[in-house]
Structure 1
């Protein structure tokens, strides 16, 4: 669990975390509380690195194929 929280931070996780903060601030400022569950959703995705399915289907194959 500790490894999942503190390792493999990439740009998309940081973007999700920033977006969650924006949604929480917007919910507080405008008193539109529907933004809180949305912010919580993005916060959980950022903290636990969820969002690519159980098998990690978001990985990109970096092998170059040579077609001749």
Structure 2
């Protein structure tokens, strides 16, 4: 735990999705295998993948509270 905390921390806020472009909160698996919360922009998503597009379009993900 200390090794994960012994580094710079980022703090961010997310506003309600009103149809504008921008990122959203997602759980992302980092290269070291650790799952972290991250703001993901649509440019970071493989939109040619039906699986990823479906996840992005799910209505309940647009109302996530952290």
More helix by share: 1
Pair member with larger Rg: 1
TM-score by length of 1: 0.28
Which fold has the larger relative contact order, with Cα–Cα distance below 8 Å and residues 6 or more apart in sequence? 1
More strand by share: 2
